[in-house]
Protein backbone atom coordinates (compact mmCIF):
# COMPACT_ATOMS: atom_id res chain seq x y z
CA UNK A 1 0.00 0.00 0.00
CA UNK A 2 0.91 3.61 -0.47
CA UNK A 3 -0.89 6.52 1.15
CA UNK A 4 -1.71 9.40 -1.20
CA UNK A 5 -3.07 12.63 0.27
CA UNK A 6 -5.06 15.07 -1.87
CA UNK A 7 -5.72 12.29 -4.36
CA UNK A 8 -9.09 13.72 -5.44
CA UNK A 9 -7.50 16.94 -6.69
CA UNK A 10 -6.05 17.68 -10.10
CA UNK A 11 -2.55 16.19 -9.87
CA UNK A 12 -3.36 13.70 -7.10
CA UNK A 13 -6.19 12.07 -9.07
CA UNK A 14 -4.04 11.89 -12.20
CA UNK A 15 -1.35 10.25 -10.06
CA UNK A 16 -3.73 7.68 -8.53
CA UNK A 17 -5.17 6.79 -11.96
CA UNK A 18 -1.70 6.54 -13.45
CA UNK A 19 -0.42 4.43 -10.54
CA UNK A 20 -3.31 1.96 -10.67
CA UNK A 21 -3.20 1.70 -14.46
CA UNK A 22 -0.45 -0.86 -13.98
CA UNK A 23 -1.92 -4.23 -13.04
CA UNK A 24 1.00 -5.00 -10.73
CA UNK A 25 0.62 -1.74 -8.76
CA UNK A 26 0.35 -1.70 -4.99
CA UNK A 27 -2.96 -0.46 -3.59
CA UNK A 28 -3.63 3.19 -2.75
CA UNK A 29 -5.24 4.67 0.34
CA UNK A 30 -6.39 8.11 -0.69
CA UNK A 31 -6.96 10.68 2.08
CA UNK A 32 -8.70 13.82 0.85
CA UNK A 33 -10.73 16.52 2.57
CA UNK A 34 -12.81 17.14 -0.59
CA UNK A 35 -12.50 20.90 -0.52
CA UNK A 36 -13.94 22.78 -3.52
CA UNK A 37 -10.89 21.44 -5.46
CA UNK A 38 -11.42 17.79 -4.57
CA UNK A 39 -13.62 15.86 -6.97
CA UNK A 40 -14.41 12.17 -6.62
CA UNK A 41 -15.76 12.12 -10.18
CA UNK A 42 -12.11 12.16 -11.27
CA UNK A 43 -11.78 8.69 -9.74
CA UNK A 44 -15.03 7.24 -11.01
CA UNK A 45 -13.24 4.66 -13.16
CA UNK A 46 -11.88 3.13 -9.92
CA UNK A 47 -15.34 2.61 -8.41
CA UNK A 48 -15.05 -1.18 -8.56
CA UNK A 49 -11.30 -1.37 -8.08
CA UNK A 50 -10.57 -2.85 -4.65
CA UNK A 51 -6.99 -1.56 -4.82
CA UNK A 52 -8.29 2.01 -4.22
CA UNK A 53 -9.58 2.97 -0.78
CA UNK A 54 -10.90 6.48 -0.32
CA UNK A 55 -10.91 8.12 3.11
CA UNK A 56 -12.66 11.46 3.50
CA UNK A 57 -10.67 13.56 5.94
CA UNK A 58 -8.08 16.18 6.78
CA UNK A 59 -4.30 15.70 6.84
CA UNK A 60 -4.43 17.90 9.96
CA UNK A 61 -6.57 15.37 11.85
CA UNK A 62 -4.11 13.53 14.12
CA UNK A 63 -6.27 10.63 15.26
CA UNK A 64 -7.51 9.97 11.72
CA UNK A 65 -4.01 10.01 10.19
CA UNK A 66 -2.71 7.74 12.98
CA UNK A 67 -5.55 5.32 12.38
CA UNK A 68 -4.93 5.20 8.63
CA UNK A 69 -1.23 4.54 9.16
CA UNK A 70 -1.88 1.79 11.69
CA UNK A 71 -4.69 0.17 9.69
CA UNK A 72 -3.05 0.21 6.25
CA UNK A 73 0.68 0.19 7.07
CA UNK A 74 1.70 2.09 3.92
CA UNK A 75 5.28 1.72 2.71
CA UNK A 76 5.24 5.32 1.42
CA UNK A 77 3.28 8.55 1.68
CA UNK A 78 2.91 10.93 -1.27
CA UNK A 79 1.65 14.27 -0.01
CA UNK A 80 -0.32 16.25 -2.60
CA UNK A 81 -2.89 17.68 -0.19
CA UNK A 82 -2.77 21.45 -0.23
CA UNK A 83 -4.58 24.65 -0.95
CA UNK A 84 -3.06 25.38 -4.34
CA UNK A 85 -4.42 28.54 -5.94
CA UNK A 86 -2.45 31.79 -5.69
CA UNK A 87 -5.47 34.06 -6.29
CA UNK A 88 -7.46 32.36 -3.54
CA UNK A 89 -4.47 32.70 -1.20
CA UNK A 90 -4.59 36.46 -1.77
CA UNK A 91 -8.30 36.62 -0.90
CA UNK A 92 -8.00 34.29 2.11
CA UNK A 93 -4.60 33.05 3.29
CA UNK A 94 -5.79 31.36 6.53
CA UNK A 95 -6.72 28.01 4.93
CA UNK A 96 -3.30 27.94 3.25
CA UNK A 97 -1.52 28.20 6.58
CA UNK A 98 -3.86 25.64 8.11
CA UNK A 99 -3.50 22.94 5.47
CA UNK A 100 -0.13 23.60 3.85
CA UNK A 101 1.79 24.37 7.06
CA UNK A 102 -0.14 22.87 9.99
CA UNK A 103 -1.51 19.97 7.95
CA UNK A 104 1.93 19.01 6.64
CA UNK A 105 3.33 19.34 10.17
CA UNK A 106 0.68 16.96 11.50
CA UNK A 107 1.26 14.48 8.67
CA UNK A 108 5.00 14.55 9.29
CA UNK A 109 4.63 13.97 13.01
CA UNK A 110 2.15 11.10 12.61
CA UNK A 111 4.31 9.55 9.89
CA UNK A 112 7.45 9.89 11.98
CA UNK A 113 5.82 8.15 14.91
CA UNK A 114 4.63 5.35 12.59
CA UNK A 115 8.05 5.04 10.94
CA UNK A 116 9.75 4.88 14.36
CA UNK A 117 7.62 1.85 15.19
CA UNK A 118 8.72 0.00 12.02
CA UNK A 119 11.65 -2.37 11.95
CA UNK A 120 14.10 -3.89 9.47
CA UNK A 121 13.36 -3.63 5.75
CA UNK A 122 10.01 -1.89 6.32
CA UNK A 123 11.72 0.91 8.18
CA UNK A 124 14.60 1.04 5.73
CA UNK A 125 12.33 1.31 2.69
CA UNK A 126 9.76 3.78 4.02
CA UNK A 127 9.47 7.10 2.11
CA UNK A 128 7.69 10.41 2.69
CA UNK A 129 7.42 12.18 -0.66
CA UNK A 130 6.43 15.84 -0.41
CA UNK A 131 5.02 17.39 -3.59
CA UNK A 132 5.88 21.06 -3.89
CA UNK A 133 6.14 23.91 -6.35
CA UNK A 134 8.75 26.01 -8.14
CA UNK A 135 6.99 29.11 -6.77
CA UNK A 136 8.96 28.77 -3.51
CA UNK A 137 12.00 30.16 -5.34
CA UNK A 138 10.33 33.51 -6.09
CA UNK A 139 10.41 35.45 -9.33
CA UNK A 140 13.07 35.60 -12.07
CA UNK A 141 13.99 38.43 -14.42
CA UNK A 142 14.14 37.63 -18.14
CA UNK A 143 17.93 37.18 -18.01
CA UNK A 144 18.18 35.08 -14.81
CA UNK A 145 19.14 31.42 -15.12
CA UNK A 146 16.35 28.91 -14.40
CA UNK A 147 15.75 27.71 -10.83
CA UNK A 148 18.14 25.06 -9.57
CA UNK A 149 17.62 23.04 -6.40
CA UNK A 150 20.23 25.25 -4.75
CA UNK A 151 18.36 28.53 -5.36
CA UNK A 152 17.43 30.34 -2.14
CA UNK A 153 13.76 30.32 -1.19
CA UNK A 154 12.08 33.70 -1.86
CA UNK A 155 8.33 33.05 -1.87
CA UNK A 156 6.14 36.04 -2.74
CA UNK A 157 2.51 34.96 -2.38
CA UNK A 158 0.68 33.54 0.64
CA UNK A 159 0.43 30.28 -1.35
CA UNK A 160 4.14 30.02 -2.12
CA UNK A 161 5.09 31.15 1.40
CA UNK A 162 2.94 28.38 2.89
CA UNK A 163 4.46 25.79 0.52
CA UNK A 164 7.95 27.07 1.35
CA UNK A 165 7.18 26.67 5.05
CA UNK A 166 6.06 23.08 4.45
CA UNK A 167 9.22 22.32 2.45
CA UNK A 168 11.31 23.65 5.34
CA UNK A 169 9.50 21.41 7.82
CA UNK A 170 10.08 18.38 5.59
CA UNK A 171 13.77 19.25 5.28
CA UNK A 172 14.13 19.70 9.04
CA UNK A 173 12.47 16.33 9.77
CA UNK A 174 15.19 14.68 7.69
CA UNK A 175 18.09 16.56 9.24
CA UNK A 176 16.87 16.38 12.83
CA UNK A 177 15.15 13.01 13.03
CA UNK A 178 16.63 11.15 10.08
CA UNK A 179 13.03 10.80 8.81
CA UNK A 180 13.20 9.52 5.20
CA UNK A 181 11.87 12.36 3.05
CA UNK A 182 12.19 13.51 -0.54
CA UNK A 183 10.78 16.77 -1.91
CA UNK A 184 9.99 17.60 -5.53
CA UNK A 185 9.45 21.17 -6.77
CA UNK A 186 7.49 21.23 -9.99
CA UNK A 187 6.46 23.91 -12.45
CA UNK A 188 2.90 24.69 -13.62
CA UNK A 189 0.95 21.56 -14.55
CA UNK A 190 -1.88 21.30 -17.05
CA UNK A 191 -4.01 18.43 -18.37
CA UNK A 192 -7.23 16.50 -17.65
CA UNK A 193 -9.24 17.12 -14.44
CA UNK A 194 -7.72 20.59 -13.92
CA UNK A 195 -10.12 22.77 -11.93
CA UNK A 196 -11.07 25.78 -14.08
CA UNK A 197 -9.84 28.45 -11.70
CA UNK A 198 -6.30 28.09 -13.14
CA UNK A 199 -5.31 29.74 -16.39
CA UNK A 200 -5.46 26.91 -18.94
CA UNK A 201 -8.79 25.25 -18.05
CA UNK A 202 -10.36 28.65 -17.29
CA UNK A 203 -9.46 29.91 -20.75
CA UNK A 204 -10.67 26.75 -22.53
CA UNK A 205 -14.05 26.82 -20.78
CA UNK A 206 -14.55 30.59 -20.93
CA UNK A 207 -13.80 30.46 -24.65
CA UNK A 208 -16.41 27.75 -25.20
CA UNK A 209 -18.94 29.66 -23.07
CA UNK A 210 -18.41 32.92 -25.04
CA UNK A 211 -16.96 34.63 -21.98
CA UNK A 212 -13.95 37.01 -21.76
CA UNK A 213 -10.51 35.37 -21.58
CA UNK A 214 -8.95 37.35 -18.72
CA UNK A 215 -5.26 38.22 -19.06
CA UNK A 216 -3.71 39.74 -15.93
CA UNK A 217 -1.59 42.84 -16.60
CA UNK A 218 0.32 42.74 -19.89
CA UNK A 219 0.18 38.93 -20.26
CA UNK A 220 3.97 38.71 -20.58
CA UNK A 221 4.47 36.78 -17.33
CA UNK A 222 6.30 33.56 -18.00
CA UNK A 223 5.69 30.10 -16.55
CA UNK A 224 7.24 26.72 -17.30
CA UNK A 225 4.45 24.29 -18.24
CA UNK A 226 4.46 20.53 -17.70
CA UNK A 227 1.81 18.01 -18.80
CA UNK A 228 0.40 16.40 -15.64
CA UNK A 229 1.17 12.86 -16.85
CA UNK A 230 4.85 13.82 -16.98
CA UNK A 231 4.69 15.10 -13.41
CA UNK A 232 3.21 11.75 -12.36
CA UNK A 233 5.99 9.81 -14.10
CA UNK A 234 8.61 12.01 -12.41
CA UNK A 235 7.11 11.37 -8.97
CA UNK A 236 7.10 7.63 -9.62
CA UNK A 237 10.74 7.82 -10.64
CA UNK A 238 11.75 9.83 -7.57
CA UNK A 239 9.77 7.56 -5.27
CA UNK A 240 11.50 4.52 -6.73
CA UNK A 241 15.07 5.78 -6.87
CA UNK A 242 15.45 9.31 -5.45
CA UNK A 243 18.03 9.95 -2.75
CA UNK A 244 16.70 10.51 0.74
CA UNK A 245 16.89 14.09 1.98
CA UNK A 246 17.30 15.40 -1.56
CA UNK A 247 15.09 17.78 -3.52
CA UNK A 248 14.44 17.47 -7.27
CA UNK A 249 13.15 20.17 -9.60
CA UNK A 250 10.65 18.91 -12.17
CA UNK A 251 9.87 20.94 -15.29
CA UNK A 252 8.93 20.79 -18.92
CA UNK A 253 11.77 22.83 -20.49
CA UNK A 254 8.86 24.85 -21.72
CA UNK A 255 8.77 28.54 -20.86
CA UNK A 256 5.80 30.41 -22.30
CA UNK A 257 4.27 33.86 -21.80
CA UNK A 258 0.64 33.78 -20.65
CA UNK A 259 -0.59 35.60 -23.74
CA UNK A 260 1.09 33.01 -25.99
CA UNK A 261 -0.59 30.21 -24.04
CA UNK A 262 -3.99 31.81 -24.47
CA UNK A 263 -3.44 32.43 -28.20
CA UNK A 264 -2.37 28.80 -28.67
CA UNK A 265 -5.53 27.56 -26.94
CA UNK A 266 -7.63 29.87 -29.12
CA UNK A 267 -6.09 28.59 -32.33
CA UNK A 268 -6.59 24.92 -31.33
CA UNK A 269 -10.23 25.68 -30.51
CA UNK A 270 -10.61 27.58 -33.80
CA UNK A 271 -9.61 24.36 -35.52
CA UNK A 272 -11.45 21.79 -33.36
CA UNK A 273 -14.62 23.72 -32.46
CA UNK A 274 -14.88 26.77 -34.76
CA UNK A 275 -17.15 29.61 -33.60
CA UNK A 276 -20.43 29.85 -35.49
CA UNK A 277 -19.58 33.42 -36.62
CA UNK A 278 -16.31 32.23 -38.18
CA UNK A 279 -14.21 34.56 -36.01
CA UNK A 280 -11.31 33.48 -33.77
CA UNK A 281 -11.73 32.83 -30.03
CA UNK A 282 -8.81 35.24 -29.65
CA UNK A 283 -11.40 38.02 -30.04
CA UNK A 284 -12.54 37.18 -26.50
CA UNK A 285 -9.13 38.04 -24.98
CA UNK A 286 -9.58 40.79 -22.36
CA UNK A 287 -6.80 42.47 -20.39
CA UNK A 288 -7.76 42.83 -16.73
CA UNK A 289 -6.18 44.26 -13.57
CA UNK A 290 -2.94 42.52 -12.64
CA UNK A 291 -2.64 40.09 -9.71
CA UNK A 292 -1.10 41.82 -6.63
CA UNK A 293 2.57 40.83 -6.28
CA UNK A 294 2.39 38.89 -9.55
CA UNK A 295 5.62 36.91 -10.09
CA UNK A 296 7.09 37.77 -13.48
CA UNK A 297 8.85 34.60 -14.48
CA UNK A 298 9.37 31.02 -13.32
CA UNK A 299 11.76 28.66 -15.09
CA UNK A 300 12.97 25.23 -14.03
CA UNK A 301 16.37 23.71 -14.55
CA UNK A 302 15.50 20.00 -14.48
CA UNK A 303 19.05 18.80 -15.14
CA UNK A 304 19.46 17.05 -11.78
CA UNK A 305 16.51 14.69 -12.16
CA UNK A 306 17.52 13.98 -15.75
CA UNK A 307 21.17 13.24 -14.91
CA UNK A 308 20.64 11.35 -11.66
CA UNK A 309 17.37 9.54 -12.32
CA UNK A 310 17.08 9.58 -16.10
CA UNK A 311 13.72 11.39 -16.16
CA UNK A 312 12.63 13.70 -18.99
CA UNK A 313 9.13 14.82 -19.96
CA UNK A 314 7.52 12.76 -22.72
CA UNK A 315 5.14 15.49 -23.95
CA UNK A 316 6.03 18.70 -25.73
CA UNK A 317 3.79 21.69 -25.07
CA UNK A 318 2.22 21.25 -28.53
CA UNK A 319 1.22 17.64 -27.91
CA UNK A 320 0.16 18.21 -24.28
CA UNK A 321 -1.98 21.28 -24.88
CA UNK A 322 -3.78 19.65 -27.82
CA UNK A 323 -4.58 16.57 -25.70
CA UNK A 324 -5.81 18.85 -22.94
CA UNK A 325 -8.13 20.92 -25.12
CA UNK A 326 -9.46 17.71 -26.64
CA UNK A 327 -10.10 16.27 -23.16
CA UNK A 328 -12.23 19.27 -22.16
CA UNK A 329 -14.19 19.03 -25.41
CA UNK A 330 -14.81 15.32 -24.85
CA UNK A 331 -15.82 15.55 -21.19
CA UNK A 332 -18.82 17.90 -20.94
CA UNK A 333 -20.31 15.91 -18.05
CA UNK A 334 -17.22 16.47 -15.91
CA UNK A 335 -17.22 20.15 -16.87
CA UNK A 336 -20.92 20.48 -15.99
CA UNK A 337 -20.17 18.91 -12.60
CA UNK A 338 -17.64 21.56 -11.60
CA UNK A 339 -19.91 24.47 -12.56
CA UNK A 340 -21.47 24.51 -9.12
CA UNK A 341 -22.66 27.52 -7.17
CA UNK A 342 -19.35 27.82 -5.32
CA UNK A 343 -17.40 27.94 -8.59
CA UNK A 344 -19.69 30.61 -9.96
CA UNK A 345 -19.30 32.60 -6.71
CA UNK A 346 -15.52 32.44 -7.13
CA UNK A 347 -15.67 33.75 -10.72
CA UNK A 348 -17.88 36.60 -9.57
CA UNK A 349 -15.55 37.50 -6.68
CA UNK A 350 -12.36 37.36 -8.74
CA UNK A 351 -13.45 38.80 -12.11
CA UNK A 352 -16.35 41.10 -11.18
CA UNK A 353 -14.41 44.25 -11.99
Nearer to ligand TYD, 117 or 220 (CB): 220
| Cβ atoms of residues 346 and 292 within 8 Å | no
Of 16, 43, 80, 204, which one interacts with ligand NAD (CB under 6 A)? 80
**Residue 233, interface with ligand NAD (CB under 6 A)?**
no
| Cβ atoms of residues 111 and 48 within 8 Å | no
From residue 97 to residue 136, what is the string marking binding to ligand NAD with x (rule CB under 6 A)? --x---x---------------------------xxx---
Of 105, 216, 327, 343, which one interacts with ligand TYD (CB under 6 A)? 216
Task: Decide which of ligand TYD, ligand NAD, none touches 216; Cβ closer than 5 to 8 Å per partner kind.
Answer: ligand TYD
Q: Can you say how many angstroms the Cα of residue 101 is from the centroid of all Cα atoms in its chain? A: 16
Residue 133 to residues 20, 193, 292: CA-CA distances in angstroms? 24, 19, 19
Tell which positions 271-300 bind ligand TYD, by CB under 6 A.
Answer: 291
DSSP code at position 277: T
| Cβ atoms of residues 114 and 70 within 8 Å | yes
Task: Decide which of ligand TYD, ligand NAD, none touches 12; Cβ closer than 5 to 8 Å per partner kind.
Answer: ligand NAD
Size of the site for ligand NAD (CB under 6 A): 32
Q: Smallest distance from the beta carbon of 295 to ligand TYD, in angstroms?
A: 7
From residue 38 to residue 77, what is the string marking binding to ligand NAD with x (rule CB under 6 A)? x-------------------xxx-----------------
Distance CA 147, CA 240 (A): 24
Q: Smallest distance from the beta carbon of 125 to ligand NAD, in angstroms?
A: 24
Of 155, 214, 242, 320, which one interacts with ligand TYD (CB under 6 A)? 214
Q: Smallest distance from the beta carbon of 124 to ligand NAD, in angstroms?
A: 27
Tell which positions 173-202 bind ligand NAD, by CB under 6 A.
Answer: 186, 188-189, 195
Distance CA 160, CA 85 (A): 9
**Residue 37, interface with ligand TYD (CB under 6 A)?**
no
The residues assigned a catalytic role are 134-135, 159
Distance CA 171, CA 321 (A): 34
Cβ partners under 8 Å of residue 50, min gap 6: 27
Beta strands in the chain (DSSP E): 2-5, 28-32, 52-56, 76-79, 127-133, 181-186, 188-190, 213-216, 222-227, 247-250, 255-257, 285-288
**Residue 11, interface with ligand NAD (CB under 6 A)?**
yes
Residue 340 to residues 37, 47, 94, 112: CA-CA distances in angstroms? 12, 23, 23, 39
**Residue 17, interface with ligand NAD (CB under 6 A)?**
no
**Residue 266, interface with ligand NAD (CB under 6 A)?**
no
**Residue 82, interface with ligand NAD (CB under 6 A)?**
yes
Distance CA 6, CA 4 (A): 7
Of 33, 130, 198, 236, which one interacts with ligand TYD (CB under 6 A)? 198
Q: Smallest distance from the beta carbon of 253 to ligand TYD, in angstroms?
A: 17
Residue 203 to residues 88, 196, 224, 285, 313: CA-CA distances in angstroms? 18, 8, 17, 9, 24
Distance CA 346, CA 348 (A): 5
Q: Can you say how many angstroms the Cα of residue 44 is from the centroid of all Cα atoms in its chain? A: 20
> Which residues contact ligand TYD (rule: CB under 6 A)?
86, 188, 198-199, 202, 214-216, 221, 223, 258, 291
> Which residues sit at the interface with ligand NAD, rule CB under 6 A?
5-6, 8-12, 31-35, 37-38, 58-60, 80-84, 99, 103, 131-133, 163, 186, 188-189, 195
Amino acid sequence: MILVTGGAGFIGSNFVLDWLSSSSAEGVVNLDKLTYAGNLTNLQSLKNDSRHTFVHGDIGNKSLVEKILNDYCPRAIVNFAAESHVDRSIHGPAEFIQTNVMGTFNLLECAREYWTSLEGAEKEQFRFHHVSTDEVYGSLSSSDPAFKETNPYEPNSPYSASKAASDHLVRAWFHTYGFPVITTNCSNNYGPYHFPEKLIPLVILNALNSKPLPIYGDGQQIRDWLYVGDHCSAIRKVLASGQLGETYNIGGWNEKANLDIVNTICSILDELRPRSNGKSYAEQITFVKDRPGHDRRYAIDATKIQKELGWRPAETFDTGIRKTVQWYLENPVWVEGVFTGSYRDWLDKQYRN
